[in-house]
Amino acid sequence: MLNTAQLKALSVFAIFAIIGFGPISPGCLIGMYVVVKRPDWFHRLVRGIFDYPDDADFVSAAETRAARIKSFACLFVLFLVDIVPLPVTPVVAFAIILGRPSWFYRLVSRVYGQSA
């Protein structure tokens, strides 16, 4: 059963899939913004999708920096791949939203680090 956060995220990425048939990938741009600025709304959305309790694990500043650099680089490569007229990013997002893999939650926790 899908929760409210999953339905909201799926709706947004469905729109991105429709408008993403051009040279610009809105999902990747928003992802890069999230990695750089770490807005509270994204962290709340991920917690809502995954419905996990708050993390008590310590994430060092070095781990946060490394996770942010790797995440930005991956999103940039995905942005370049998304230039082809097939929306790749929304498909990846659908898989994450529906599958809720634990690696994604851990990655977000590392990207946000102690600032969350």
CA angle 14, 19, 25 (to 5 degrees): 95
Q: Cα separations (Å) of 74 from 4, 29, 35, 71, 77?
A: 28, 12, 11, 5, 5
Q: What is the pTM of this model?
A: 0.86
Does residue 60 surpass a pLDDT of 70? Answer: yes
The pLDDT tens digits for 18-46 are 876 667 888 999 999 999 999 999 999 99
